[in-house]
Structure formats: structure tokens, C-alpha cells
Structure 1
Amino acid sequence: MTAQGNEQYFSATPSSDDIRRVLHVTIRGKQTDVEVSNGVFSSGRLDLGTSVLLRHAPEPAASANNHTDPNGDDETTGPRTFLDLGCGWGPITLALAEADPEANVWAVDVNERALALTERNATANGYGNVHVSLPDDVPEDLRFDTIWSNPPIRIGKEALHDMLMTWLPRLSRDGEAYLVVQRNLGSDSLMKWLADALGSGFAVDKYASSKGYRIIEILRR
């Protein structure tokens, strides 16, 4: 998919004019106004695949403090850490931030304009728990409890595989990831590849199907 003309939405610095527009969208049932622009993925609407992911992905486990474990011992757990991989203008980021206001939500993209839009949309909608970042600027020791992504399939198989194997192994123990992939763009073959590439420490399966898309679930055992 291209953002404008021959410009790819995964360009680091889009050459198209940065012309901001306001969209009124529904994100996990919440009416939301967001800014979009040229040179960013799905700049004219909420992408159908992203919409499928937001409708069907399960609610991420929320942050908790001073909860009691099954053995009756008190534990203190800090905020959860969520990742929106390939954030675009930020619909998945906003959904994760709304799901758990105490969580640290990382929005990652190679497109600097996308990051600026996501930061703007998070701030405008009152989410102070969002961190936008280029991939190389995310701390290497950071682990994620939940990853949601509409991955950029059109970057090519090799680049896609490299991206997924960079981030999915960074799931925390008992962490979960949900990816939405169009069926006719290889969702089933990607699911099989992920199971082989991630190995026995992960469970990979189809979580849901809708409107020609699969939601792939990855659980760290």
C-alpha cells in the first residue's frame, strides 16, 4: 500500500506535504477525534485490518498493585508495558492507553511523521502514558506484556520476518501478542512460520477471523 503516489507509508521521512486533517473515528467503542496526514498509513480512515484487531483482540491484562497471588502471599506489581508495533497515526496506541491508564504504552514506527501524529493524538485525547519512539531508541532491556500490531506486510517477507523476530521475543513471561494479517496476503503461512521461528517457548494460533483478516495470537509460555 502507498501513502501518496509512489511514496511508501513506511518511509522514514515522508516527502509529501504534511497537511493535517481531523478524523472522527470509533476506537473500541469510544468516539475519538484524531489528526492524520499524508505519508502515513491509512491517512484517510481507520484501516479495516486495524478495525478488525480493535474489535476482536481481548482486553489486555491491566496493571495491579498489592494483589494477592494464588498462594496467599502479597505481591506488588508495577505498571504493565504495552507495545503498538507500527503505530501509524495511533489508533492501536490510543486503544491500549484507554485499556489501562496505568500502563506504559510504547508506540513504535520508522515513520517520523507517524510518531508526531501519534504523540499529538495521545496528548489531545488525554493519554499521558504514551511513549513514541523510533525502533532503535526503545531501551534494549524493555519487555512487553502485550503487543498489538497491524504489521506492514508490504515491506517484504524478509524485512517482515526480521521485524517480528526483533520484537516478539521481547514478550515478558506470560506475555501475549495479537497481529492482524489479511488472509490473501499470507496470514496462514505467516502463522506457521512464526510457530517454527519462535519455537517451543511460544504458542501460536488463530484467535479470530473477520472480513478477510486473521488475528494471530502469540503467547509466551
Structure 2
Amino acid sequence: MTSKGAHYFDERPGAAARPGTVDVVLPDLHLRLATDSGVFSPGRLDPGTRVLLESVPPPPQEGDLLDLGCGYGPVALTMASRAPQATVWAVDVNRRSLELCERNAQSAGLYKVRPRHVDEMPPGIRFSAIWSNPAIRIGKAALHAMLTRWLDRLTPDGTAYLVVQKHLGSDSLQRWLGDQGWATTREASRSAYRVLRVAARPATGHPGGAAAPDEER
């Protein structure tokens, strides 16, 4: 959230502009990104996002990749840095976030990042990888609808990685994904965050059983 009554998942945040920067420092890259009020985690790299970026395997080196809920761009720009031949689509509902993501990609020389509003994505594109720190606080029904919309655009061999806090329902989300036919396992667990690995579901879309969550650690 941002100011009272405003949320980072608003399309046009009403919070007054407060420009800043965040340094994204990972073992393989260092990005300095412009931020602002009214977007997700404008003061620092969100801990869940860091766990995601430090835990997932390298993205496919070509094709179309997706950052779902891009904010000002730390995930999308990391994907683009690690897979410079791929096209990285960065989607969000927040117009301020998209403007920042575009600016940050240009400043970093990552010209294959394509920021788009969620309702302005070309319909025929399928993704070989999706990385996301999804907006859990939009509510369960909206979250499930959002994930269904985008996970169904994975290529047959595509994989999604989602980072979710344990106390915000990572284990129940893992079970739900499995019940909907997406084979889901836990890729990593750190600092109360879970990184879920989600495989594309069969074309029939028949629900299947969820993988049992790992023992708590």
C-alpha cells in the first residue's frame, strides 16, 4: 500500500510524486532503478522479490518471458539481463509503475523489455517463463482469476515461478494451483517466503492433485 486509501495495484495512483532510487544488487548484476510513491515497495527491493531473484534458475535464453506485476521493473530487468536475446513482457495495472519500468529499461540499455498494461498485451503471445511476486492483497478471488489468465498462456514446456509469503497463504495457494491442474512444487523456502515452481497444465486443463507442501523449515 501507499498513502491511506491508495494501493500499488490502483491503475492511476493518487499519491503525490516522491521520486527515489533503489539499488538491486545480486551476485550477477547491479541495477539502479528509479522509483516513486504509489508503486510497490518504492524504498527498497522487496524481500520476497530478492528471494525470487536469488532462487530461480536462469530464464530461457530466447522467446517470450513474462514479469507479472512488474512494478518499477526489478524482476523484468533481471530477466532481461540474464536472457538478453529473449523478449521480456512486463505487465502491470499501475500506469506509474509501467512508466518507471520503461524508463529503467531504457536507462539500463535493456531494449527488449516491453512494459504493457495488463489489458493491452497482444493476445497471441505465449510465455516460456513467468516470474512473479503476485499481488496477494488484491484478494483470493482476484488473485486466482489473475493467475488463471496468465498461467494459461505458458507454452507447453513453460514454467512459472511465484514467490509468496507463508503467512499470506503460500501453502494454500500451492494446493489450489495443483487442484486446477498446474503441477506445483516448492523451489525454495527462505525467510518465511516460498518460491513455487508451476508447470504448464495439460491442454485438456483437467484438474490434478497438488504436490504436498514440504515440511516447514
The offset of 1:25, in angstroms, is 2.5
For residue 150 of structure 2, the aligned residue among 163, 167, 183 is 167
Taking the aligned partners of 2:60 and 2:3, their CA distance within structure 1 comes to 37
197, 200, 217: which one pairs with 1:217?
197
Could you tell me how far apart the structure 2 residues matched to 1:43 and 1:16 are?
Answer: 12
Structure-2 change in CA distance of 1:168 and 1:177 (3 Å): same
Corresponding position of 1:49: 48
Q: Which residue of 2 aligns with 1:206?
A: 186
Is structure 2 residue 64 aligned with structure 1 residue 84?
no
d(CA) in 2 for partners of 1:122, 1:155: 27
User: Which residue identity is paired with 1:32?
Assistant: L
Q: Structure 1: which amino acid aligns with 2:18?
A: I
Cα pair distance change 1:56/1:195, threshold 3 Å: same
Secondary structure at 2:152 match in 1: helix
TM-score w.r.t. the length of structure 2 is: 0.90
Tell me, yes or no, if structure 1 residue 30 matches structure 2 residue 29: yes
Aligned partners of 2:162, 2:3: CA distance in 1, in Å? 25
1:181 corresponds to 2:155: no
Identity of aligned residues (%): 46
Whole-Å Cα distance in 2 between the matches of residues 190 and 145 of structure 1? 22
Any gaps of 5 or more consecutive residues in structure 1?
Answer: 64-79
Q: TM-score, normalised by structure 1?
A: 0.88
| Aligned-pair CA distance for 1:28 | 5.1
Q: Which runs of 5 or more residues in structure 2 are unaligned?
A: 203-217
The answer (yes or no) to whether the contact 2:23–2:45 under 8 Å persists in 1 is no
Identify the residue that residue 113 of structure 1 maps to in structure 2. Answer: 96
1: distance between equivalents of 2:3 and 2:27? 28
Name the structure 1 match of 2:13: 14
Between the aligned partners of 2:27 and 2:192, the Cα distance in structure 1 is: 20
Separation (CA, whole Å) in 2 of partners of 1:33 and 1:97: 15
More strand by percentage:
1
Task: Give, in angstroms, the shift of residue 207 of structure 1.
Answer: 0.9
Residue 194 of structure 1 aligns to a residue whose secondary structure is: helix
Q: Tell me how far apart the structure 1 counterparts of residues 40 and 70 of structure 2 sit (CA, whole Å).
A: 9
Report the AA paired with residue 139 of structure 1.
P
Structure showing greater Rg: 1
Q: Name the amino acid aligned to 1:209.
A: S
- What is the SS of the residue equivalent to 1:11? coil
| 8 Å contact kept, 2:22–2:33 | yes
Specify the SS of the correspondent of 1:7: coil
Post-superposition offset of 1:173:
1.4
Quick one: distance in 2 between partners of 1:106 and 1:214? 24
| Shift of residue 17, structure 1, vs aligned partner | 1.4
- 2-side partners of 1:173 and 1:25: how far apart? 32
Measured against aligned partners, the alpha-carbon deviations of 1:109-129 in whole angstroms (never above 9, x if no partner) come to 000000000001110011000
